[in-house]
Amino acid sequence: MAAPLAAWFQDMADDWNGWKGEKKWGDLENRVLLTATSDSTGHIKMKVTLTGQDYDSELRVNIMFEAGQLEGVARDVALFFS
């Protein structure tokens, strides 16, 4: 699951018209987990889970955006990490 984050976002952008199930990305230490789902109305729900250094504390955030925004998000993530 530790493929480049930019590739994960580009995969979602390539599937802008939706997908079944969850798309997940996580870092090597399991401190960052992103889980994305799409619905039939063109919305993407992304769950962000950040785990603290002690592996006991956790922050969870849900982010909603439109499928039409995926290409721009993928481009911005690729630029940020380049």
> pLDDT tens digits for 13-64?
999 999 999 999 999 998 999 999 999 999 999 999 999 998 899 999 999 9
What pLDDT shows up at residue 55?
86
- Which residues, 6+ apart, have CB-to-CB distance to 29 below 8 Å? none
β-bridge mates for residue 62, sequence order: 47
β-bridge mates for residue 61, sequence order: 48
**Backbone φ and ψ of 5, nearest 5°:** -60, -40
> pLDDT tens digits for 57-74?
999 999 999 999 999 999
- Which residues, 6+ apart, have CB-to-CB distance to 52 below 8 Å? 31, 58, 59
| Domains of the chain and any CATH numbers | 5-80 (2.30.31.40)
Q: Residue 1: is its pLDDT beyond 80? A: no
- Which residues, 6+ apart, have CB-to-CB distance to 10 below 8 Å? 74, 78
